[in-house]
Structure 1
């Protein structure tokens, strides 16, 4: 019986967690903050002067063909943190072309008095639709590639239509900000207060900083949000955590300080970065003011940060695959302007008995891990996931009886099978494996069986709109002690 089932990965070392964390938050802070304060500038007429310094690029959206339906009132803006290394940005190394170091869909919903910022990880490895060549870009045929190729090989118009086709979300405008713009905005607000948990020296990111609570100026903040290998576990997901905290700190300072107190402060604030911002030429002053009016009443508790649900790509462990159906459910919620605080139907039919099983899980008190023997079987395409999960469970105190791969029929979802009377043991394992369900199997003995199924290898359980793991700006508080 032990070789008839499948498998799922436990949460501790998952590549990314669903519906949470905003990557490269500094650039997004620029875009979001600019939208928040633009209407105040417009009221004084000053913004019309500043607007002239913004670079405008013509994008022929009519050439996109069939596009996702636009929801009246809601606005979706593609925020791009550009890694262009020309001009003043040449100080940050050489890089061919221009790529989106950060890619965010900012969804502004006046009906729900809030905003949701959806991060598309730059390591996303996807089936890219074709993009035509332009005067300065070669374009490409449909292929499996990194999301950033759309911009580097096809331009911002290619990136725009690619995001629309992959997500089903109608994008209204784009805003791109480079390294210099990021520094300028941080300096314009007098720096951002952050708690640095440990001293960091990262030569690649040009970062040398002591531990403790301190105010980061523009140059140091840029190094902090770009640093990867010298902090945490060296992964991009670890960097995402720090960047989300930075963005929350930056937004809180802008909204609570004297930045918004006078036309002069506002003028200096945007004036410091406008020459580092590029938008589509349809994102006019009036269009920006409309967005800003919608954002003006939004408090930090209504600005949500989420990431496309994802996991390790089966063809390349260094790349990310979007986990389905979770990713599609998130995109559908954004595309149709569903309030994320309202749980939605997952769209999939539950297996018979699922609801009673969930009730049973809620009533069972999990056993102590040291008393639980578990065998782990990997029914996914991710090599080594069974061994990794076994190691994680061992570290958590479980007795791992063995790991391997199943033969024969496997479940569609990660499942912990248990013998009669062993339900508390199964519940203990399920508690350590996000999204795992439990099911009784009278053929088993005292060892429970964890089968990691096709939903494994990602970032935990499928989270629907309103998932508790999503963070708001208020929940990114970063303070020592």
Structure 2
């Protein structure tokens, strides 16, 4: 029979939450000053403002366009990981207004598309680029003002925005990646140029001379130079004038440029001076659009949590891909590598140090945990979801994966908000082993348990287990770049 879950569990969880919020900050390295914060804006990067200029920022933020996105209409959505924020970044090729000089285009499509994964616990920001020519299953999108809508079909991921706007693209990205998207930020050509010019340009190393008439008649000599707004836009948009002309190589250049911009912002005077910061933000807000739930307070919460981020922990990756057999000008995502990357993002297992406060507490106490195998772990399965027979189903899967099941049942008393694996003091390794099998499960110490006995309590957010062929480990095909590194400066 399962153990009783009394209201004391709730107070224990409250204590744990209090402990996490008061965790000590890392030592100073290449990080932002305590008065600065980071937020994700531009085609793939999170850049921020200053808490000392908060009132001025509220005034500036009034220039940001807001759009309502009814995510309830998406149906079943991926589960949310507490504390994590995933922002869909759209570099749009909109050609009206100030952007009319960049030619004509049918509809509005993402010129750049990425997911910015912000993890305060890991103190990392990871930008996952999704090639705009990726062939994915597009969901049905209803027609709305200015959009024709579409039936479910196989198509390029960026065409979703043409059919149904940001809402359709948001739904498409969630269904294709199984990553919960919390917000979106869109910036057009003019906004990108404004950011670069407000910084006084961005210093870059150009490995080879570039001339591309289709990218604003871009003409750059090889070597180190400062790219101003128009040149910077041409550089990140250029395809035919560099390398093999593919969108994938262009993504590499965009990542390199964004890393250079991050280094410049975080090491320069922009974040140190409220007046410089005000000028920087004032240049770009008229060209930024976000969902109406990405409020000033939400931005501030994200920024405060990430204010100690190190340059080396701002990461850029591209989803593993290969040519689409039906058309070599399109790409398809490589399986299972892409699923493993998205799984790591969706469950907040990508990058950084996930040892957390519990590991630090163990170190302080001099505790050492022995490595364990599934056969060493006994699991009590508690069904807090309300689905009849779920505990028996889960038990069968655990046994199939080598674990021992000591009992099943329904909870009595408080059910945790998030599915949780409870473990005895010194047995965190056993809990981690069980939690790693699940799509979403946290771990928490429980002094009433002993040995390697753990208790899996499934809550309303329970999403089942990971496929055996799709682990939380990131495959070797995923090439990670950090903002602290440069792949081209060595040739200058």
Q: TM-score, normalised by structure 1?
A: 0.67
Q: Is 2:211 the counterpart of 1:201?
A: yes
Displacement after TM superposition at 1:172 (Å): 0.5
- The aligned residue for residue 288 of structure 1 is 299
> How many residues are aligned here?
334
Give 1:219's aligned residue.
230
Give the Å deviation of 1:339. 3.2
Q: 2:55 aligns with which of 29, 45, 48?
A: 45
What residue is the counterpart of 1:429 in the other structure?
none
Q: 1:87 aligns with which of 94, 97, 110?
A: 97
User: SS of the residue aligned with 1:258?
Assistant: coil
- SS of the residue aligned with 2:323? strand
Is the CA contact 2:179–2:342 (under 8 Å) kept in the aligned structure 1? yes
Equivalent of 1:307 in 318, 333, 343: 318
Q: How does 1:142-153 map to 2 (within 5 A)?
A: 142-153=152-163
User: Could you tell me whether the CA contact under 8 Å between 1:131 and 1:154 is conserved in 2?
Assistant: yes
Question: Which region of structure 1 is more displaced relative to structure 2, 203-212 or 332-341?
Answer: 332-341
Deviation at 1:164, TM superposition (A): 0.8
Alpha-carbon distance in structure 2 between the residues aligned to 1:477 and 1:130: 41
1:114 maps to what in 2?
Answer: 124
Q: 2:265 is matched with which residue?
A: 254
In 2, Cα distance between the equivalents of 1:316 and 1:32?
27
Mapped partners of 2:276, 2:179: distance in 1:
35
Hey, what does 1:465 align to over in structure 2? 474
Relative to the length of structure 2, the TM-score reads: 0.65
1:239, distance to aligned residue in structure 2 (A)? 2.0
CA distance in 2 between partners of 1:331 and 1:476 (Å): 25
Residue 66 of structure 2: SS of its match in structure 1?
strand
* Cα distance, 1:304 vs structure 2: 1.1
Look up the SS of the partner of 1:260 in the other structure: coil
Q: 1:149, CA displacement in angstroms?
A: 1.3
The superposition leaves residues 183-228 of structure 1 with CA deviations (integer Å, 9 ceiling, x where unpaired) of: 0000000101111122222111120122221111000110111111
Aligned CA distance change for structure 1 residues 196 and 31 (closer, same or farther; 3 Å) = closer
* Counterpart residue number, 1:179: 189
Contact 1:310 1:322 in 2 (8 A): yes
> 1:125-158: CA deviations, max 9, x gaps?
1121111111221111111111111101111001
CA contact (8 A) 2:88 2:170 kept: yes
Larger RCO: 1 or 2 (CA < 8 Å, sep 6+): 1
C-alpha contact 1:42 1:48 (8 A) present in aligned 2: no
Residue in 2 aligned with 1:100?
110
Whether the aligned pair in 2 keeps the contact of 1:36 and 1:292 (CA below 8 Å) is: no
Whole-Å separation in 1 of the counterparts to 2:94 and 2:473: 35
Distance 1:463 1:165, change over 3 A: closer
Distance 1:214 1:190 in 2: 12
- Aligned-pair CA distance for 1:166: 1.1
| Unaligned stretches of 5+ residues in structure 1 | 1-27, 344-461
Residues 291 and 463 of structure 1: CA distance in aligned 2, closer, same or farther (over 3 Å)? closer
Partner of 1:228: 239
Structure 2 residue 386 is the aligned partner of structure 1 residue 339: no
Please give the root-mean-square deviation of Cα atoms over the aligned residues, in Å: 2.0
